[in-house]
Amino acid sequence: MGVLFSQSLVAQTDIKPVFVIVHGAWGGGWAFKKVDSLLTETGSNVYRPTLTGQGERVHLASPNVGLDTHINDIVNTLLYEELTNVILVGHSYGGMVVSGVADSIPERISKLVYIDAIVPENNESVLSIFGAMNPKFKVKNGAILPPWVTEGQSPPKDVPHPLKTWEDRIQLNNPNRLKIPTSYILTVAKGADPARDDFASQAARAKEHGWSMFQLEADHNAQWSAPVNFVSILKDIECN
């Protein structure tokens, strides 16, 4: 019995790395299932919460869902799961969300990772950063439709994203957010010019902040097009 008890104590003190992955617009935690599996195989604990109104929570969609709603989704994940020393990863629009989370509870976060993600400054919105909305996106009932999804397509699939989250201006006032070690991963398609990438301007912001910079050969959704290499970079960031 003493041996078993001793082994139990060792197990309790063997703290695994904790990754919390925040998906982008139109998506859901489902999109990072493969990344979750690969990270779990390395001994990490992984959380991939779905933002309100997205993915399997699409039934909660409403024009009133704003950026603060999504920030609170992740803040509450960390609080209610009692997570500390979190490596917080934001993809695309998820960069807005993780920035707000880091501003709210920086003491819970050991590292921040932006992958092809927005890097906001105080009082900026998605629309103020990128200017006018791309004409390929149509808005219906207060949500931005994903034009690549066909009518009647079965889940899992991308779903309309609340417009308000792109209009809301983020409030970043906690200086402790800037003390968190932060990395930026720019995904660039094979043979493409990184300077012409859709997120090149955001990578430039990251570089100006002095963050660790990585470039990954992949399309915008590296969780599908290059999951192994994506996870390899995450583990490098974890260990450095």
Answer yes or no: are the C-beta atoms of 85 and 110 closer than 8 Å: yes
Other Cβ atoms within 10 Å of 226 Cβ, number = 17
Query: Which of these, 25, 24, 21, lies nearest to 34 by C-alpha position?
Result: 21
Catalytic residue among 92, 104, 125, 183: 92
What is the C-alpha separation between 68 and 220, in angstroms, rounded?
25
Query: Which of these, 148, 75, 149, 86, lies nearest to 112 by C-alpha position?
Result: 86
Bridge partner residues of 140 (DSSP): 143
What is the C-alpha separation between 18 and 109, in angstroms, rounded?
10
Q: Mark whether 125 is an active-site residue.
A: no
Query: Which of these, 221, 234, 228, 240, lies nearest to 23 by C-alpha position?
Result: 221
Angle at 21 between CA 112 and CA 71, to 5 degrees: 80
Answer yes or no: are the C-beta atoms of 230 and 222 closer than 8 Å: yes
Other Cβ atoms within 10 Å of 220 Cβ, number = 18
Nearest-Å Rg of the Cα atoms of the chain is 18
Catalytic sites, residue numbers: 92
